């Protein structure tokens, strides 16, 4: 018993005699498929995304862990310090902007 691979279905109404699909027909077919699959679009993600400062602090913690295990300790510690300073700057400037409002 062999399993045949199914070929993707082709919208033959969009093909010309030569077998090519025009740009207009391709665009219309893609739009029909999009509406069929997604309707009015996908819902926005409901989970809270981390701020840029949180991302930087997480990266700094990972670099410090690498340095603690002996993997390029000076370079990783230097980069971790830079990332932590950048995160602190972003937190301070965000707080200052909120206070100004």
Is 2 a member of any domain? no
Is 65 a member of any domain? yes
Gap between the Cα atoms of 13 and 80, Å rounded: 59
Question: Any idea what DSSP says for residue 47?
Answer: S
pLDDT, position 8:
58
pLDDT, position 9:
64
Domain that holds residue 96: 52-100
pLDDT, position 36:
87
Instruction: Calculate the CA 4 to chain-centre distance.
Output: 35
Is 77 a member of any domain? yes
pLDDT, position 10:
62
Is 58 a member of any domain? yes
Is 30 a member of any domain? no
Is 40 a member of any domain? no
| pLDDT per residue of the chain (101 residues) written in tens, 0 to 9 | 556 666 656 666 566 677 777 888 888 888 888 888 888 887 777 888 899 999 999 999 999 999 999 999 999 999 999 999 999 999 999 888 888 87
* pTM score over 0.75: no
Gap between the Cα atoms of 101 and 96, Å rounded: 9
Number of domains composing the chain: 1
Gap between the Cα atoms of 23 and 56, Å rounded: 44
Is 60 a member of any domain? yes
Is 36 a member of any domain? no
């Amino acid at each position: 018993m062999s399993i045949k691979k199914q070929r993707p279905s082709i919208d033959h109404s969009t093909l010309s005699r030569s077998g090519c699909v025009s740009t207009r027909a391709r665009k219309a077919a893609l739009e029909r498929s999009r509406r069929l699959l997604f309707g009015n679009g996908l819902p926005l993600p409901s989970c809270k995304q981390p701020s840029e400062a949180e991302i930087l602090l997480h990266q700094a913690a990972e670099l410090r862990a690498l340095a603690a295990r002996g993997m390029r300790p000076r370079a990783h510690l230097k980069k971790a310090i830079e990332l932590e300073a950048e995160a602190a700057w972003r937190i301070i400037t965000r707080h200052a902007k909120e206070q100004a409002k």
